[in-house]
Amino acid sequence: MTTAVAPARSAEPAAPDPVAMFASMVLIRVFEERMMELRTAGEVIGPVHPYVGQEAIAVGVCAALTQADSLVSHYRGHGHAIARGVDLDALTAELFGRAAGLCGGKAAALISDSRTNLLMSSGIVGAGVPVAAGAAMAAQVRGEPAVSVAFIGDGALGSGAVHETLTIAAVQRLPLVLVCEHNGYQAGNRTEEVYPEVSLLRLAEAHRVRAVGIDGNDVAAVATAAHDAVRLARGGGGPTFIEARTYLTRFHLQFERPSPEVRPSDEMAAWRARDPIDTARQSPPLRDRLSDADVEAIWERARERVERAVETARSSPWPAPEEAATHVWAEEP
């Protein structure tokens, strides 16, 4: 199977609905909190890399995409999948390692979803960037207006494959949007400890790639920047590198126990005050459009939806042992 999604009729998505984007951010937050609990409880398998605090980026970017566009994610990717519209039951079952999971239990968090053109969620930092560029090249070869988006963290700029791809994408004017979620941390290191400077824009500019810096905790700003980048790419204007500043409010990853890593308290307080969900709630138009009861109803719906997905995952059987050896080789078509 290649791409299961038929090209959208229109190359332009509808203008993003602020309430829908808010609800999507809430769903990601509720999901992530629940997955951390269930990892500690031993029901979710593998490592969990929580996306808490970065929800505005996935939601704002995906609001700018059509069905025909492609997405490449990485191990901190639950938020991207949910924002893209990946089926929550299949996603949750995959994180439980069950047969009904998106990838039959083989991937855990490193999911693919052909229904939504989520090509991969790589476990290798930076490796998804050339893959996304290849999807962009495919659209260019076919003369289709699709774009390709790769989500990366600030740590991915340490990868040579990313720099190589930026050069080629600029020269070949690939319809590629790199979304760098600059959350300040790369595994155990703070970015300023290992990079020559904290702004990443100049790295992209050095490759002659259009670079845009935005507040990644402001979903409207993200949606606008993504919309502009996608429109430019669709029109043959080449790639954009979006640096969305945000913060890793929890930790790099957890297995049985949440990671004990500590954040500077003043830094944490400053970013908590700019929580993307609270920020959206208090900004126009939601400030005027949603009552407190409306907001509570959105949270309640998210909790119910996540619990339903958890129950579905729990009731799905484990994959049969013989499934371990399937899908090593693609069948001849």
Partner 1 sequence: MNEVGLLDLVLEEEFTRDPNLVFLATNSPASLRRRFGSDRVRICAISEQAMTGMAVGAAISGLRPIVDLNRASFAMLVMDQLVNHAGRMHYLSGGQYRVPMIVTSATRGRQQLGPQNEQCPYGIFMQTPGLAVVVPGSLRDACALLRGATRWPGPVLYFVAPELNRQRGLSAALAAAPLRFGEAAHLRHGDAATIVAIGGAVKVASDAADALAADGVHCDVLDPRTLVPLDTAALAASVRRTGRLVFVDDGPRSGAPAQILSRLLDEPGVAAAAGGRIGYVCQPDVPVPSAPPLEETMWPTEGRIRAEVQRVLGEPE
Q: Summarize as ranges the residues that interact with partner 1 (CB under 8 A).
A: 1-3, 70, 72, 101-107, 110, 112-114, 119-120, 122-124, 127, 129-141, 148, 160-161, 164-165, 167-168, 171-172, 326-333
Of the candidates 92, 108, 111, 112, the residue with the CA atom closest to the CA atom of residue 315: 92
Given the complex with partner 1, which of 139 and 298 has the nearer CB atom?
139
Given the complex with partner 1, which of 144 and 215 has the nearer CB atom?
144
Given the complex with partner 1, which of 36 and 71 has the nearer CB atom?
71
CB of 154 to partner 1, least distance (A): 20
CB of 79 to partner 1, least distance (A): 20
CB of 204 to partner 1, least distance (A): 15
Angle ∠(7,11,12) on CA atoms, nearest 5? 135
**What are the distances in angstroms from CA 86 to CA 83, 155, 162, 258, 313?**
8, 26, 26, 26, 15
Given the complex with partner 1, which of 1 and 293 has the nearer CB atom?
1
CB of 207 to partner 1, least distance (A): 10
Of the candidates 90, 76, 72, the residue with the CA atom closest to the CA atom of residue 165: 72
> Is the Cβ–Cβ distance between 2 and 138 less than 8 Å?
no
Rounded Cα distance, 303 and 103, in Å: 24
CB of 155 to partner 1, least distance (A): 15
What is the helix (H) or strand (E) element at residue 118, kind and residue range?
strand 118-122
Given the complex with partner 1, which of 289 and 327 has the nearer CB atom?
327
Q: How much of the chain is helix, strand and coil, in % rounded to 5? A: 45, 15, 40
